[in-house]
Amino acid sequence: MLNSGLFQSALCLLVFLCQLSRIQAGGALQLDNSNFDAVIGSNELVFINFYADWCRFSNLLAPTWDDTAEKVSQAFPEQGKVVIGKVDCDAESSIASRFHITKYPTLKLLRNGQATKREYRGQRSADAFASYIKEQLEDPIKMVESLSDLSQMEDNKRTVIGYFDSKDVPEYKIFQKVASNLKDDCQFLAGFGEAVRSMHPPGESIIAFKATVTQEDDTFKGAIHSYDEVSIWATERCIPLVREITFQNAEELTEEGLPFLILFHAPEDTESVRKYTQLVHSELADQKQSINFLTADGVQFAHPLHHLGKSKKDLPLIAIDSFRHMYLFPKYEDAYVEGKVKAYLNDLYSGKLHREFHQGPDPDTTQPPEPVAINSDPTQKAVKRDSPTTPPESTFKKLAPSRNRYTLLDKDEL
């Protein structure tokens, strides 16, 4: 009878052989509800092809994706490093919904269990995919050899700086993991030992955030040995709750897949931006997983205003862009009445705004809505009327990346 050590070795060998057989037989790892969370939680990178068997583009990509799995497994054989996976979205609709998959095939990279903001949109070849993975595994942290190096950092970038005794301390391992997740949003710098001794006491690691080189450090004061605490702290600083949309970052923001709540303001109007930001932080922060809070220069984005029937003289104003329609918040001044904007967002989530678009206002909007069963269809309870509202078509969806290479789903908003 095998002893415990031999049994474990035999088991590991069996698992390895099974994995090798899978790679040779089918290439990419088939992910489903039984293994999805375990795989993304135990690997640094998981590159996933969300596909549908009926989709011609999915079928064209399939052999290349399997070739990629073999190429990547040979280049990065270390366990827990990289997995090339695939999800059948028809069979695993809950996973597809979880990642807001609306077109096939969609290629998403998950790092340390979290989806990166940008879909892969580069060349679709095994070599290109492998190069992309290699790039993603490069160390995002710039080393600080002396304090004078800090003056050379890019002054227009948000920066997280760590000071450590050495690369071997556990705090630096956490810093590396956070840097990998946020490298597209902040630059990360690290200094060690005597080179940065004046910035941290011996035996004590320090992590700080700096919006620009002209601002004081915002030092992390939580549990530096806790990945969750450091990650939350850094994310809040690297990705502000309220962001400005421009033509340069619009594609990136639309790729996040969340509707927009936008304050349109005059270029010189900083007060409305301040009030809107304060409103979001005080009342709407718990909605950040469901909506993007944005500000927009109403002169630069005159086209959406025109579609809303508004112009510069009507600024400031607040609107929702669901990527299907735009909905103007009825009265700007009411936005700062407690609960008004949150109620408007709830009307978006519940489908009320879209329902009223097709069927006119509900009979009595002063009464609280009736509870709706989870699996019921709220449109079955609506009564069709002759005076529907007419919100304009989304204009920001036109700034999204080209969808020509994808099979689109006929999918309603939300």
The secondary structure element, H or E, covering residue 116 is none
Of the candidates 136, 168, 183, which is a domain's last residue? 136
Q: Is 349 helix (H, G, I), strand (E, B) or coil?
A: helix
Determine the pLDDT at residue 174: 95
The secondary structure element, H or E, covering residue 298 is none
Q: 404-413 in b/e burial notation, b at 16+ Cβ within 10 A?
A: eebeeeeeee
Whether cis (ω within 30° of 0) applies to the bond prior to 401 is no
Percent of the chain beyond pLDDT 70? Answer: 78
Containing domain of residue 155, as a range? 141-238
Q: Which two tokens stand for residue 362?
A: 């509900």
Closest CA to 249 of 100, 111, 115, 396: 396
In a domain? residue 14: no
- In the block, tokens 């997280």 appear at 160
pLDDT band at 375 (very low <50, low <70, confident <90, very high): very low
Determine the pLDDT at residue 401: 54
The secondary structure element, H or E, covering residue 233 is helix 227-238
pLDDT band at 145 (very low <50, low <70, confident <90, very high): confident
Determine the pLDDT at residue 14: 44
Mean pLDDT of 133-160: 83
Decide if 181 contacts 136 (C-beta within 8 A).
no
If asked whether residues 226 and 279 sit together in one domain, one would say: no
If asked whether residues 205 and 271 sit together in one domain, one would say: no
Amino acid at 409: L
Q: Residue 310: is it exposed, middle or buried by C-beta count within 10 angstroms (0-12/13-18/19+)?
A: middle
If asked whether residues 402 and 279 sit together in one domain, one would say: yes
Quick: pLDDT tens for 154-204. Answer: 666 789 999 999 999 999 999 999 998 898 889 999 999 888 888 888 889
Decide if 158 contacts 109 (C-beta within 8 A).
no
If asked whether residues 145 and 157 sit together in one domain, one would say: yes
**pLDDT top residue among 18 and 278:** 278
DSSP 74: H
Q: Is 47 helix (H, G, I), strand (E, B) or coil?
A: strand
Closest CA to 276 of 246, 236, 319: 319
In a domain? residue 278: yes
Of the candidates 238, 253, 280, which is a domain's last residue? 238
If asked whether residues 232 and 274 sit together in one domain, one would say: no
In a domain? residue 15: no
> Strand 159-164 relative to strand 187-192: parallel, antiparallel, unpaired?
parallel
- The residues facing 141 across adjacent strands are 188
- Distance, in Å, from the CA atom of 184 to the CA atom of 257, rounded to the nearest integer, reads 17
Cα angle 257, 263, 264 (rounded to 5 degrees) comes to 110
- Distance, in Å, from the CA atom of 10 to the CA atom of 24, rounded to the nearest integer, reads 21
If asked whether residues 267 and 367 sit together in one domain, one would say: yes
Of the candidates 196, 213, 238, which is a domain's last residue? 238
In a domain? residue 1: no
If asked whether residues 270 and 163 sit together in one domain, one would say: no
Amino acid at 113: G
Q: Is 333 helix (H, G, I), strand (E, B) or coil?
A: helix
Decide if 125 contacts 61 (C-beta within 8 A).
no
Quick: pLDDT tens for 92-104. Answer: 999 998 887 878 9
Domain count, the chain: 3
The pLDDT of residue 381 is above 60 = no
Q: Is 325 helix (H, G, I), strand (E, B) or coil?
A: strand
If asked whether residues 337 and 251 sit together in one domain, one would say: yes
The pLDDT of residue 353 is above 90 = no
Phi first, then psi: give them for residue 38, nearest 5 degrees: -65, -40
Arithmetic mean of pLDDT over the chain: 82
Lowest mean pLDDT among 136-140, 156-160, 301-305: 156-160
Determine the pLDDT at residue 156: 66
If asked whether residues 198 and 95 sit together in one domain, one would say: no
Q: Where are the alpha helices (DSSP H) in 239-382?
A: 250-255, 270-279, 302-307, 340-350, 352-359
The pLDDT of residue 370 is above 70 = no
Q: What strand order describes the sheet that includes 206-210?
A: 141-144, 187-192, 159-164, 206-210, 218-219
DSSP 245: -
The secondary structure element, H or E, covering residue 140 is none
Decide if 57 contacts 104 (C-beta within 8 A).
yes
Phi-psi region for residue 370, left (φ > 0), alpha (ψ -120 to 50) or beta?
Answer: beta
If asked whether residues 371 and 288 sit together in one domain, one would say: yes
Decide if 400 contacts 100 (C-beta within 8 A).
no
Q: Which two tokens stand for residue 181?
A: 């997740």
Closest CA to 215 of 281, 157, 162, 164: 157
CATH classification of the domain holding 70: 3.40.30.10
Lowest mean pLDDT among 10-19, 86-95, 283-292: 10-19
Q: 175-197 in b/e burial notation, b at 16+ Cβ within 10 A?
A: bbbbbbbbbebbbbbbbbeeebe
Decide if 29 contacts 84 (C-beta within 8 A).
yes
If asked whether residues 356 and 399 sit together in one domain, one would say: yes
If asked whether residues 107 and 146 sit together in one domain, one would say: no
